[in-house]
Amino acid sequence: MKVAPAKTNTMTTTCPACGLLCDDVVVDNNHQQIKVLANGCAKGITFFEQPLSDATPQINGKPASLQQVITHTAKLLKTSQQPLFAGLSTDVAGFRSLYHLSQKTNSRLQHINAPSMARNMKVLQSTGWQTTTLTEVKNRADVIMCLGDISKHNPRFFERFVNIDGMFVEAKHRKVIVIGEANSKSFIKSNGLYGAQTLTCRADDLPSITIALRALVAGKRLKMTEIAGVTLSDLQAVADTLKAAKYAVLAWVAKDLDFPHAELTIQNITETVAILNQSASNHFGRAAGLPLGGSDGDTSANNTNTWLSGLALNDKPIEHDCMLWVNSLSPEVLLPLKDKPLIVFGNSNCQLEGVPDVFIPIATPGLDCGGTLFRVDSSVVLPLKKCRENSLPTLSEVISEIEKLL
């Protein structure tokens, strides 16, 4: 770990730019401009170094006071028969406040990442799965198979959990296998004894690859000589490596599996894990899945919603006559097209292509205010720190004032 020079305006904080929630990022505050000094990735630097905006509350594109926009928002929600709370990119406290407001206004909830979240949820609900945590990966995994480009979504995954010695395995003894359209190999530094193996295929070839691998792990014989450009002998070698592992981990990012019935591909992965564990008694090994990704607070939103309601978030199109759009974490996520009344609670730097009925710039957790988020493996909740001073209200504060008017 790089050590930053000691300064009174320097702090070590947690980065919410992806689901890993790296808690070793060193930042410096110089007149409310944040600079990443150590342990930042491209995503983290973009998040922390976004400028402090002078955006103000608006009603129909015209500046208004915070109380005026809160009053107007309450009026729109009162007159709506089918409100929809969408986006939901916030931290745990922000989502909890949205959930309670939705109960008062009979609103539905839908996260911006609903389609990719549903791919994992359908498998979990229909057949269950055996998954592990990031800490277990670091401490025990000797074989890690990545389906897709993990580093695109979680840039420091290899640095923090693979290219590092664990309690029960040294980094040089890990075997890493990458299958798909991946650039992850450039991030893999610790395959000294065995080397990294890459099987290149398109994302939409993964259904064929994963079902063939599942069959080979189960001991089935296949008649073809290659699948989607990958030779059967290479795929058999992967199957043999997984079966011989002491602790095999199969990792994927649901957002990359953007094709029809992608949940069946995830099920192929999780069923391969189950087969490996059924035969583990032959070599005293075990296997686990690792769903990665995690962005826009999606893991926190889904976990908090399940905790409060017992249900998963909606992933189907929802009829509505008014939308409240929340995105406090990222200025880059585009807003929906405005064909109905639109209320936007957004990152102060978000770009408004149209004119919403209401716009309230709100504090970004981990930058403008503190907060908490679930890590992508759902095993821990990590605190976010306030890195700079400003007058932006938090989402919870705004919703609390709206509730008083309902």
The 10s digit of each residue's pLDDT in 368-402 is 999 999 999 999 999 999 999 999 999 999 999 99
| Nearest C-alpha neighbor of 236 from the set 212, 206, 270, 267 | 212
State the DSSP code for 187: G
Write down the pTM of the prediction: 0.91
The helix (run of H) or strand (run of E) holding residue 309 is: helix 298-309
DSSP 97-140: HHHHHHHHHT-EEEETTHHHHHHHHHHHHHT---B--HHHHHHH
23-75 pLDDT, tens digit each: 999 999 998 899 999 999 999 999 999 998 888 999 999 999 999 999 999 99
The two counts, helices (H) then strands (E), for the chain are 12, 19
Fold of 58-113+297-365+393-404: Rossmann fold (3.40.50)
| Nearest C-alpha neighbor of 283 from the set 308, 259, 251, 248 | 248
What pLDDT is attached to residue 158?
94
249-273 pLDDT, tens digit each: 999 999 999 999 999 999 999 999 9
Segments in 10-128 forming alpha helices (H): 42-48, 66-79, 92-105, 114-126
Q: Which CATH number is 117-292 given? A: 3.40.228.10
Are 197 and 240 in contact, with CB atoms under 8 Å apart? Answer: no
**What residues are paired with 326 via a beta bridge?**
345
What pLDDT is attached to residue 355?
87
What pLDDT is attached to residue 279?
73
Token reading at 63 = 């500046």
Query: For the purposes of burial, counting CB atoms within 10 Å of the CB of 294, is it exposed (0-12), middle (13-18) or buried (19 or more)?
Result: buried
Contacts of 274 (CB under 8 A, 6+ apart): 130
Contacts of 207 (CB under 8 A, 6+ apart): 259, 261, 262, 264, 265, 268
State the DSSP code for 43: H
- For residues 98 and 88, give the distance between their C-alpha atoms in angstroms, rounded to a whole number: 8
| Nearest C-alpha neighbor of 91 from the set 402, 310, 302, 365 | 365
Are 277 and 287 in contact, with CB atoms under 8 Å apart? Answer: yes
| Nearest C-alpha neighbor of 217 from the set 242, 245, 180, 250 | 242
- For residues 26 and 10, give the distance between their C-alpha atoms in angstroms, rounded to a whole number: 7
- For residues 336 and 129, give the distance between their C-alpha atoms in angstroms, rounded to a whole number: 34
- For residues 2 and 334, give the distance between their C-alpha atoms in angstroms, rounded to a whole number: 35
What is the CB neighbour count within 10 angstroms for residue 199? 22
State the DSSP code for 251: E
**CA 340 → CA 280, 297, 343, distances in Å?**
56, 25, 10
What pLDDT is attached to residue 1?
37
Q: Residue ranges per domain, the chain?
A: 58-113+297-365+393-404, 117-292
Contacts of 5 (CB under 8 A, 6+ apart): none
What pLDDT is attached to residue 3?
39
Low-confidence ranges of the chain (pLDDT < 70): 1-8, 182-195, 280-284, 333-334, 336-337
